[in-house]
Amino acid sequence: MASTAEGAGLPIGEALKRTRTRHKLDIGRVEADTKVRAKYLRALENEEWDVLPGPAYAKGFLRTYAEYLGLDGDALVDEYRRTVESSLGPNEGGSSFAEPVLEHHGRPGGEPRSGWRRATPLIVALAAAVVIVLLVLGLTGGSGHKERHRHHHHHGKGHHHHAKGDVAGGGGQAVTVSLTTHDDMVVCLLPGHGRPLIDSQTLIAGAKEGPFPPADNYRLDLDSGGAVTLTTNGKPQRVRSKRPASFAVDSSGIRPIDFAGPNCP
């Protein structure tokens, strides 16, 4: 890797690109090793600061990329603060964590928010239709249940309650999840059924993700170890590991499982 003085005196982007090129590293390799998306790595090299989610992420990605290349990450972050962050207007810097690094999240101030407003009536109508269907199914299913077990009425009620717990994945109900990181770390968050919500992404210390939609259960991978506060159904719990670790999450709590990474899922 490069020496810490190799990029001295160069603009931030040029120092990164020259060092990467000298060591014959392509962007794909750097993305795989650092878990920082290629479009953000290119934005750092081209000094396209508006492509990055916000100053806090820019500094976190810059330090990660510089140290990966063997450069002085603190020096480049200080240069960013002096030449870029100090020139931002009061409304340009955004919040400390203006946008998560996940690609399916919208950019701040973009169309998604107004799109949600326009979609709200349709969503409400669809939700009402789903509720009606569930009620109809519940009534017809319930009558069949009573017919089959009318001579064991109380036992049947208890059995029905137990089945609901089974469907919910062991804890009895679905859970919503959000997390706050306490270290720079690589995280995977996967619902029991579906695509990853956080796809082995590098999150900086203090990043806040979620809350995510209810699911019967989740799997949390700390691919690089570290500490997070995981909030399930409004109840925060600190989770920490000094090495790569995985955790199962449902309404009954959070428990360690065999490490399932580094692939997500």
Domain map (residue ranges) of the chain: 12-87, 112-167, 175-257
Give the residue-averaged pLDDT of 242-249. Answer: 92
The pLDDT mean for the chain works out to: 75
pLDDT at 175 over 50: yes
Give the residue-averaged pLDDT of 29-35. Answer: 92
| Assigned token pair, 211 | 């809350």
pLDDT band, very low/low/confident/very high, at 32 (cuts 50, 70, 90): very high
Give the residue-averaged pLDDT of 220-240. Answer: 91
Q: What is the tens place of the pLDDT at every residue in 44-71? A: 999 999 998 888 888 999 999 999 999 9
Of 100, 80, 101, 89, give the one whose Cα is nearest residue 36. 101
- What is the phi/psi pair of residue 149, to 5°? -125, 30
pLDDT of amino acid 251: 87
End-to-end CA distance of the chain: 31
Q: What pTM, to 2 d.p., does this model score?
A: 0.46
pLDDT of amino acid 146: 44
Of 66, 107, 105, 62, give the one whose Cα is nearest residue 81. 62
Give the residue-averaged pLDDT of 212-222. Answer: 90
Best mean pLDDT range from 81-95, 153-167, 227-241: 227-241
pLDDT of amino acid 162: 37
pLDDT of amino acid 123: 65
Give the residue-averaged pLDDT of 116-136. Answer: 61
Give the residue-averaged pLDDT of 208-215. Answer: 87
Give the residue-averaged pLDDT of 6-15. Answer: 75
pLDDT of amino acid 107: 37
- Give the number of other Cβ atoms within 10 Å of residue 49's Cβ: 19
Of 82, 49, 88, 36, give the one whose Cα is nearest residue 203. 36
pLDDT band, very low/low/confident/very high, at 196 (cuts 50, 70, 90): confident
Q: 215 or 88: whose pLDDT is higher?
A: 215
Q: 253 or 160: whose pLDDT is higher?
A: 253
Instruction: Select from 3.50.50.60, 1.20.120.450, 1.10.260.40, 3.30.200.20 the CATH code of 12-87.
Output: 1.10.260.40
